[in-house]
A = this chain, B = another copy of it.
Amino acid sequence: MKSLVRFGVSIEEKLLARFDDLIESKGYVNRSEAIRDLIRDRLVSEELADKNAESIGTLTLIYSHDVRELSDKLNEIQHHNHRIIVSTTHIHLDEHNCLEVLILRGKTRQIQAIADRLLSIKNVRHGKLTCTTTG
- List the interface of chain A (C-beta within 8 A of B): 2-16, 18-19, 22-23, 25-29, 31-44, 46, 56, 58, 60, 62, 65, 68-72, 74-76, 78-82, 85-99, 101, 103, 105, 116-117, 119-120, 122, 125-128, 130, 132-135
Cross-chain contact B117 with A27 (CB below 8 angstroms): yes
Count of this chain's copies in the oligomeric assembly: 4
Cross-chain contact B11 with A7 (CB below 8 angstroms): yes
Q: Please, which residue of chain B has its CB at the minimum distance from the CB of A38? A: B38
Interface of A is mostly: mixed
A29 proximity list for chain B (CB < 8 A): 120, 122
Selected from B19, B91, B92, B97, the residue in CB contact (under 8 A) with A43 is B19
A68 proximity list for chain B (CB < 8 A): 69, 72
A105 proximity list for chain B (CB < 8 A): 93
